[in-house]
Amino acid sequence: MLTTTHKNTYYKIPLKYHFLFWSFYFLLNFIRWGSYFDDYWYSLKSNLVEFPIHIIITYFNLFYLIPKYILTKKHFVYFTSFTLLLTFFYCIRTALIYFLVTKNIWPEAEGMQKAFTFNHFVAVVLGEIYVVAFVSVIKLTSEWTFERKRNEELKEAQLRSELNFLKTQIQPHFFFNTLNNLYALALEKSNKTPEVILKLSEIMQYVLYDAKSPKISLLKEINYLLSYLELEKLRYGETTKSELTVTGNINNITVPPLLFLPFIENCFKHGAKNNDNTKLTINFEKNNAYLFFRVTNNFNLNYKADTKHGIGIENVNRRLKLLYNDNFSLQTTVTNSTYAVYLKLPLE
């Protein structure tokens, strides 16, 4: 039997906070009216009568009338029902005050007041609406805060999922290309084949284990790129030259894994593949609060690249937008037979 547990996405204020709120509100009203009339015994009795009515009307409105009529856009039915509810409890409240507390059912007004007059009805109803509105604002604010936080968490989870998907796309894309290279060497019965397999296993270890983290040391990423460069040199031989330089202290810099590989891979795809003498230059530079990455390579102007399976650069650009929003700069330029990529990333 398959059992699936779903997390409750409806916000509920813990019961203890309901109790604390009504206790504090009761105490405040008790002191307020006791001080006003200079009669704390009267204030205690009247509040003991009124507060159960406040609580019943408030929760009935929040958990029944609003979901049943407001959320279903039956506004006329809601206002009619709420008015009848207030009228009904006005009658109960007035009777309880008269028989249990005082014959003067409206001591705030001058002189002895009679029940069921228009002014008394309005005064009591407005007081009740105040309580209902006050509690409703607290509840709706709490729910709005919860929903906002939940939406932010869902958005972050969606971004993480998309980033993980984009990152995993790079791995099969890279291995597909490398296996094609290995297959070509095997057909030629090249002596380089065992060394290529060894280098590939080192890279696989990095991709399968180290690259699982959201961020990784830039030094590890550079070592990975160096292994990749060695792998491509084994394939293309001495006709391909590469140079990787680092400027500034990068010991504490972390970056998203597999971020720079597609640029390097793209250089070999469109450069070394169609040139007898290819030169690849890579530079990492830390400057103030930014990391600069530059890569250049020469290519054959007459060569038309096959972009059928080209997901690398497009993938990286999407990842950059998700990770850094607009706080990064990516530029590509072509000058004569030289292709260059400039990437500027903020440092955390």
pLDDT value, residue 22:
94
Question: What residue spans define the domains of the chain?
Answer: 15-116, 170-346
Residue 1 has what pLDDT?
A: 38
Asked if 177 and 48 count as a contact pair (C-beta separation under 8 A), the reply is: no
Whole-angstrom distance, CA of residue 117 vs CA of residue 283 = 87
Residues 6+ apart with CB under 8 A from 3: none
| Structure confidence at residue 6 (pLDDT) | 38
| pTM attached to this predicted model | 0.54
Q: Could you give the angle at the alpha carbon of 306 between the alpha carbons of 294 and 188, nearest 5°? A: 95
pLDDT value, residue 284: 96
**Would you state the pLDDT for residue 74?**
93
Q: Give the separation between CA 143 and CA 9, rounded to whole angstroms.
A: 11
201-238 residue pLDDT tens: 877 777 777 777 788 899 989 988 888 888 778 777 77
pLDDT tens-place string over residues 238-257 = 777 889 999 999 998 999 88
Q: What is the 3-state secondary structure (H, E, C) of the chain?
A: CCCCCCCCCCCCCCHHHHHHHHHHHHHHHHHHHHHHHCCHHHHHHHHHHHHHHHHHHHHHHHHHHHHHHHCCCCHHHHHHHHHHHHHHHHHHHHHHHHHHHCCCCCCCCCCCCCCCCHHHHHHHHHHHHHHHHHHHHHHHHHHHHHHHHHHHHHHHHHHHHHHHHHHHHHHHHHHHHHHHHHHHHHHCCCCCHHHHHHHHHHHHHHHHCHHHCCCEEHHHHHHHHHHHHHHHHHHHHHHEEEEEEEECCCCCCEECCCCCHHHHHHHHHHCHHHCCCEEEEEEEEEECCEEEEEEEEECCCCCCCCCCCCCHHHHHHHHHHHHHCCCCEEEEEEECCEEEEEEEEECC
Residues of the chain under the 50 pLDDT cut: 1-9, 306-310
CATH of 170-346, one of 3.30.70.1060, 3.30.565.10, 1.10.10.370, 1.10.10.10: 3.30.565.10
- What pLDDT is attached to residue 293? 96
Q: Which residue, chain included where needed, has tokens 């597609």?
A: 262
Residue 190: Cβ-neighbour burial (10 angstroms; 0-12, 13-18, 19+): middle
Which of these, 240, 348, 347, 241, lies nearest to 293 by C-alpha position? 347
- Closest among 263, 237, 239, 258 to 330, alpha carbons compared: 263
CA distance 169 to 258: 11
